[in-house]
Amino acid sequence: MKRILTVFVLLYIILFLTVSCQKPCNTCPTVVEVTVVVIATSTHTCDYTATVTCTATPITSATPTCTITPTPTTTRICSPEQCNGIDDDCDGIIDNDFPEQGQECFEGYGACRQSGVFVCNGSSGVICNAVALEPQTEICNGLDDDCDGLVDEDFPDLGQQCFEGLGACRQSGVFVCDSGGGAICNAEPLMPQTEICNNGIDDDCDGLIDMEDPDCIL
């Protein structure tokens, strides 16, 4: 049924060209491109595209000879849509089963993360064309340098309480990242004062209290 309908449409085109060329052929078209629509009865098929070429022998002949290329013997059977720039399922829309095509996507974690867009990958659908950077050694900087999804995991003391200084100078803080990629305590001790004897305080912050300090020994 499909083949008969195809041939019928093409014969109609040939007849039209023949009738329209009943005049000197130097005014006739030399190449005419047509699209033959084949309607499937059970299996969905795609349009058949053919080229009709008109020539005349001799050139002054009134009726040209028309050749159809390629010969319409079959049609392309439709298949499930793939992401390949072709209308595989013959619904008139290309790659319509892959709406994410062209949308932004990402590859990698942390400092390795790079952006790209979804592109066609044939029968596999779409893939992200982003290329992640190579992982680096983890340092203390608030970034996931080794791209394992964890930030500064090699520095478990971060955020925990710490102290700096002795005696009356002692102050508390927390461990934070320093400029060199390590972790330090951010506490700032007070300035030492003159040791006052017999007050139970290490005023000069040397680790010695009152009579333990040489400053209090007569």
Q: Report pLDDT for 67.
A: 59
Phi/psi at 214 (5° precision) = -55, -25
Report the length, in residues, of the chain. Answer: 218
What pLDDT, in 10s, does the model give residues 82-101?
898 888 777 778 888 899 99
Q: How confident is the model at residue 60 (pLDDT cuts 50, 70, 90)?
A: low
Q: Which of 81, 187, 181 is nearest to 138 (CA)?
A: 181
The rounded distance, in Å, linking the Cα atoms of 105 and 98 is: 14
Residue 120: enclosing H or E segment and its boundaries?
Answer: strand 114-120
Q: What is the dihedral of CA 164, 165, 170, 172, to 10 degrees?
A: 0
Q: Which of 199, 112, 54, 185 is nearest to 209 (CA)?
A: 199
Rounded to an integer, the average pLDDT of 18-37 is: 43
The rounded distance, in Å, linking the Cα atoms of 126 and 101 is: 7
* For the chain, domain boundaries: 2-69, 80-153, 161-216
Own/partner pairs, 2-9, CB within 8 angstroms, 24+ separation: 2/38, 2/39, 2/40, 2/41, 2/45, 2/75, 3/72, 3/73, 3/74, 5/38, 5/39, 6/36, 6/38, 6/48, 6/72, 6/75, 7/72, 9/36, 9/37
Q: Which of 80, 79, 120 is nearest to 99 (CA)?
A: 120
Rounded to an integer, the average pLDDT of 158-183 is: 96
State whether residue 33 is helix, strand or coil.
strand
DSSP state, 79?
-
Q: Report pLDDT for 81.
A: 86
The rounded distance, in Å, linking the Cα atoms of 83 and 96 is: 8
Q: Report pLDDT for 90.
A: 75
The rounded distance, in Å, linking the Cα atoms of 52 and 57 is: 17
- Mean pLDDT, all residues of the chain: 76
